[in-house]
């Protein structure tokens, strides 16, 4: 059985306080935060936390082309060949997160990445977005073993004062 996990990252300013989250329907969920970070780092941390936390084959659904294309377009292979330089011959951003994450995904060999359009009404992508946004605003992570819609039910954009400045 393949587990579908939805991930998202958010940042108040960029850089600024950030949050990440992952959600499995009727299953595990978690969120976390960093004080001064970027949206890209939070997207990457969300996907990495999901892959580290969930056993068995998984499909990571993300609205981050940064995360999805790294694996689906094999960017990471080019980075390795060029000594952790990108296609512009510049150091790969967020190498400290990418290196262990790529190692884990390659070793597992049971992780698939799927791009989803953000803010498009997908229930679980929207839930991950709200949890990441809340983590960014509160600078506090949460987790649980059984995600249901009630976790984010009633949590509107108005509940997070900084929402207008959040990049997710």
Is the CB of residue 67 less than 8 Å from the CB of residue 128? Answer: no
Single out the residue of 17, 25, 9, 18 nearest to residue 62, CA to CA.
9
CA–CA separation, 72 and 85 (whole Å): 18
Q: Could you say which of 16, 18, 61, 129 is catalytic? A: 129
122 is catalytic: no
8 is catalytic: yes
Q: Give me the sign of the Cα torsion angle 71, 94, 65, 127.
A: positive
Neighbours of 101 (CB within 10 A): 22
Q: Could you say which of 8, 16, 18, 61 is catalytic? A: 8
Q: Could you say which of 96, 103, 119, 157 is catalytic? A: 119
Q: Could you say which of 9, 16, 18, 19 is catalytic? A: 9
80 is catalytic: no
Longest Cα pair distance anywhere in the chain, in angstroms? 48
43 is catalytic: yes
Q: Could you say which of 16, 32, 34, 43 is catalytic? A: 43
Single out the residue of 108, 10, 122 nearest to residue 51, CA to CA.
108
129 is catalytic: yes
Task: Tell me which residues are annotated as active site.
Answer: 8-9, 43, 63, 119, 129
């Amino acid at each position: 059985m393949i587990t579908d996990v939805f991930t998202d990252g958010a940042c108040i300013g960029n850089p600024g306080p950030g949050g990440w989250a992952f959600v499995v329907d009727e299953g595990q969920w978690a969120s976390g935060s960093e004080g001064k970070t970027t949206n890209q780092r939070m997207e990457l941390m969300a996907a990495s936390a999901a892959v580290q936390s969930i056993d068995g084959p998984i499909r990571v659904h993300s609205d981050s082309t940064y995360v999805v294309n790294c694996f689906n377009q094999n960017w990471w292979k080019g980075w390795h060949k060029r000594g952790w330089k990108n296609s512009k011959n510049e150091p790969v951003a967020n190498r400290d997160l990418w290196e262990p994450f790529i190692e884990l995904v390659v070793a597992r060999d049971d992780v698939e990445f799927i791009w989803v359009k953000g803010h498009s009404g997908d229930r679980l992508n929207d839930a991950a977005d709200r949890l990441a946004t809340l983590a960014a605003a509160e600078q506090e992570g949460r987790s649980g073993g059984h995600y249901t819609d009630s976790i984010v039910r009633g949590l509107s954009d108005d509940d997070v004062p900084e929402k207008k400045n959040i990049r997710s």
